[in-house]
Amino acid sequence: MKVLIIGAAGMIGRKLTDAILRDQVIGDRRVEALHLADVIAPVPPASDSVKITTSTTDLTDPAAARALTVWRPEVIFHLAAVVSGQAETDLDLGLTVNLDGTRNILDAIRQTGEGYCPRFVFTSSLAVFGTPLPDVIPDDFAPNPRTSYGAQKLIGEILVSDFSRRGLLDGISLRLPTICIRPGAPNAAASGFFSGILREPLAGLPAALPVDPETRHWFAGPRGAVGLLLHAASVDTAPLGHRRALNLPGISATVADQIAALERVAGPRAVALIRPEPDPLVRDIVSAWPRAFAPDRALSMGFTAETSFDEIIAAHIEDELGGSLPLHDVP
Amino acid sequence: MKVLIIGAAGMIGRKLTDAILRDQVIGDRRVEALHLADVIAPVPPASDSVKITTSTTDLTDPAAARALTVWRPEVIFHLAAVVSGQAETDLDLGLTVNLDGTRNILDAIRQTGEGYCPRFVFTSSLAVFGTPLPDVIPDDFAPNPRTSYGAQKLIGEILVSDFSRRGLLDGISLRLPTICIRPGAPNAAASGFFSGILREPLAGLPAALPVDPETRHWFAGPRGAVGLLLHAASVDTAPLGHRRALNLPGISATVADQIAALERVAGPRAVALIRPEPDPLVRDIVSAWPRAFAPDRALSMGFTAETSFDEIIAAHIEDELGGSLPLHDVP
Ligand SMILES: NC(=O)c1ccc[n+]([C@@H]2O[C@H](COP(=O)([O-])OP(=O)(O)OC[C@H]3O[C@@H](n4cnc5c(N)ncnc54)[C@H](O)[C@@H]3O)[C@@H](O)[C@H]2O)c1
Ligand SMILES: NC(=O)c1ccc[n+]([C@@H]2O[C@H](COP(=O)([O-])OP(=O)(O)OC[C@H]3O[C@@H](n4cnc5c(N)ncnc54)[C@H](O)[C@@H]3O)[C@@H](O)[C@H]2O)c1
């Protein structure tokens, strides 16, 4: 089977690539070839058994999108996006990449013709939801984005559902939880501190906490996210009908829950590295975000993610820190 | 105040034009000038007091859209669309007119600049909803369109909400009920019979009924639709926040309710002109449509429509049949 990842140079894209090369199957189908596309040149990992190709592709160019489907991959992961902060600051950029880019790849698929109907996995986001929200969001609750990023993701979902209903592709839109612990350098996203308060102390570094400890949000780890994507690539989509967007399993945790897990795994010295730095702006943004879901449809289709922050932290230590904590005594 | 109607040559556009020229005010603001735009040349009615201009405008052309906003109308009614049957048969046409056309006018507005922020009334549709549906749809129920028309309208709503949230325009999206009695010749829309079974017998003509009499759906009359549009043009939008799309008041009626009203107004000889012609295809399509709404937000903002089919039929006789039934004895 041929697999295409668009947005392959990003955080999830690289982890997904590694998982595919490790497993060499998706569902029960062997992956023979993998194409990595991103506007930033993807760096292909070595592989003996999977043929890897790459391209520097700007999805905002319809011809570039068409060039990706000529190859007729059976599975397409569409991860390319400008994320929330950028889409909010620069409306045109968000519309061009997140809306037009998505439409370009969808149009490229339907223009390929000759019965071409790939599995199309679209990374949407819980950012499609905006206040007022119930404590636990049921599957039939109306999304009302409060960011342009969320609006553009929601539009992508609608196109994926409609094109799937028409038999032009076999799509599934994953409303990913916030991915935590995001590896790498701190970034400016309003959600960044959720990762920072774990990642930095685990590396022996200080971290700022801009919100109250009782702030609650909905999370999955990077491994969980990759698992959700791979399941979406092989699950039977018949139960979805024309409703191709899914709320997903995750962990409903408060900042205090995160910190308690940090203390269990890395001890009080790690926790002591977190210093409260109240930021009313961040607090306001975050207070409008989903706190929990009851993702019944996704659960009934076998989607799973992590179930505790202890699990997420342990995976982070294994995947990012070489299996041990550099600067702490584990209690 | 300057008012622009896009899609002015259509059924609702013409009735809206007549109402504006009759009232000469919207809310408490005097209408000084009215521009009628449509891809079909609009025929301007005569008016002594309102300056009327027209243009043959194809909204799918970004430059044509920009030409409309140079005039800086304070209120824009965006009614231009290809309707459900056509959007389903021709995906490209639907995407081009309903999605790109809407985006063109939204982009034209934000490119006008210098603080231009018109009231923008977008005619969406209950077709944004698809099965499974509760008997009565609450305001926070998730839309899941089952037609490309519904999908394109929903995308338009999301853009209107996001651009409004950003202060680029002051938008409101009306999820119009099915408008009944639609005047004029029968059309091929799956919903056409809802009007046909009243309009044709009222004109002394036979009409086919493709569904069971207990089929229930959600309606407003043409006068109700115009009233909803005019209210949307002047209502305070602050209570909407970032959720600019509204489910609307209407009448939840069965076909049997419609026929009973017909009998009350036009007698048994009118009813006898309806002949059952079961059509499984139409029955399937219609069974997936909304049956009733609990439009609390719209009601709290003062939106109203008709409350009975007797009222709708009486208005039809007045507006379309010169005030009397041509071929019947009223009982
Ligand atoms: N990380 C999260 O918490 C999270 C949560 C919900 C949804 N998502 C979504 O999951 C996807 C992947 O997330 P991530 O964290 O890996 O993001 P990321 O920013 O690390 O990766 C996105 C990738 O898309 C690429 N890209 C941007 N514009 C492009 C263009 N015009 N053409 C081709 N490629 C382009 C970027 O170069 C980048 O490599 C994104 O769509 C994101 O919106 C992420
Ligand atoms: N009638 C209903 O039951 C109903 C219900 C819900 C929503 N709506 C919506 O209300 C609006 C008006 O409905 P209507 O019944 O008057 O429809 P209509 O078909 O009578 O009018 C639509 C008008 O849009 C014009 N148009 C189409 N493409 C155009 C383009 N590219 N540029 C400029 N104009 C273009 C058409 O020429 C037509 O005059 C539509 O958006 C429709 O989708 C109608």
Total Cβ atoms within 10 A of residue B32: 13
pLDDT given for residue A327 in this prediction: 58
Which residue's entry shows tokens 């700022």? A208
Instruction: Give the separation between CA B52 and CA B180, rounded to whole angstroms.
Output: 28
Chain A, window 124-143: residues with a beta carbon less than 8 angstroms from a chain B beta carbon? 130, 139-143
Compute the distance between CA of residue B65 and CA of residue B58 in angstroms, rounded to an integer. 8
Q: Do B140 and A142 touch (CB under 8 A)?
A: yes
Residue nearest to atom 10 of ligand 1 (CA): A123
Q: Which of A141, A144, A165 has the CB atom closest to B242's CB atom?
A: A144
| CATH annotation of A2-179+220-247 | 3.40.50.720
Contact B130, B285 (CB under 8 A): no
- Regarding the beta carbon of A143 and ligand 1, being less than 6 Å apart is answered no
C-alpha B129/C-alpha A246 separation (Å) is: 17
pLDDT of residue B327: 58
- Give the residues of chain B that fall short of pLDDT 50: 331
Q: Which helix (H) or strand (E) holds B284?
A: helix B280-287
Q: What is the pLDDT of residue B60?
A: 98
B37-to-A84, B12, B76, B169 alpha-carbon distances in Å: 37, 13, 11, 20
List active site positions of A: 149
Q: Give residue-wise pLDDT tens across range B57-84.
A: 999 999 999 999 999 999 999 999 998 8
Q: Cite the active site residues of B.
A: 149
The class of domain A192-217+251-291+308-329 in CATH terms is alpha beta
* Delimiting residues of CATH 3.40.50.720 domain(s) in chain B: 2-179+220-247
Whether A158 and chain B come into contact, CB under 8 Å, resolves to yes
CA distance B305 to B251: 8
Indicate whether residue A176 lines ligand 1 (CB < 6 A).
yes
CB contact under 8 A, A145 and B166: no
User: B97 to chain A, minimum CA–CA distance in Å?
Assistant: 15
The answer to whether A161 touches A174, Cβ cutoff 8 Å, is no
Contact list in A for residue B242 (CB cut-off 8 A) is: 130, 144-146
- Spell out a b/e string for B320-329, using b for 16 or more CB atoms within 10 Å of the CB, else e: eeeeebeebe
CA of B286 to the centre of ligand 1 (A): 40
Residues of chain A with CATH 3.90.25.10: 192-217+251-291+308-329
How do residues A194-217 score in pLDDT, each as one tens digit?
999 999 999 999 999 999 999 999
Q: What is the pTM of this model?
A: 0.97
- Name the residue type at position A198: L
Ligand 2, from B4, B36, B38: best to mutate by most atoms within 8 Å of Cβ? Answer: B38
pLDDT tens, residue by residue, A205-263: 999 999 999 999 999 999 999 999 999 999 999 999 999 999 999 999 999 999 999 99
Going from the C-alpha of A152 to that of each of A103, A190, A227, B163, B319, the distances in angstroms are 11, 18, 24, 12, 43
- Report the SS3 class of residue A305: coil
Each residue's pLDDT, cut to its tens digit, for chain A (331 residues) gives: 999 999 999 999 999 999 999 999 999 999 999 999 999 999 999 999 999 999 999 999 999 999 999 999 999 999 999 988 899 999 999 999 999 999 999 999 999 989 999 999 999 999 999 999 999 999 999 999 999 999 999 999 999 999 999 999 999 999 999 999 999 988 777 899 999 999 999 999 999 999 999 999 999 999 999 999 999 999 999 999 999 999 999 999 999 999 999 999 999 999 999 999 999 989 988 999 999 999 999 999 999 999 999 999 999 999 999 998 875 555 4
